[in-house]
Structure 1
Amino acid sequence: PSRSPELNPVENVWQFLRGNWLSNRVFDTYDDIVDAACDAWRRLVAQPEIITSIGMRARAHIGQS
């Protein structure tokens, strides 16, 4: 199902990108959307500690040791 971070962990990544770099913006063209998404992705990749923290959310590790 869409937007089910418990079943699809990449939803946590998209939530982070939307919440930090992609929300509350209006885009004039499709290329502007692609450019903004690529810029947000590059910012995230440049911060590996953020990627680790997204993956370490408590609900992502339920039942695992």
Structure 2
Amino acid sequence: MQISLIRDAIADAARAVVLPAGTAKLTSTGYTPDAITPPCFFVAEVEVTYDKAFGRGLSAAN
């Protein structure tokens, strides 16, 4: 599984949101930006620890 593909898919889905008239266009990204201009949607950081056990028997996402 590539987490980057999932993050990008979530950001793409957020881009489909229609905001009320008079509101700026929603910007969306799959990564935490250095700075934002509201309205903005971004996918939070994710940390995955691989190979905690032999043969990838234990992987954990935080």
Bigger RCO (CA 8 Å, 6+ sep): 1
Going by fraction, where is strand more abundant, 1 or 2?
2
Going by fraction, where is helix more abundant, 1 or 2?
1
Normalising by structure 1, report the TM-score.
Answer: 0.33
Normalising by structure 2, report the TM-score.
Answer: 0.34
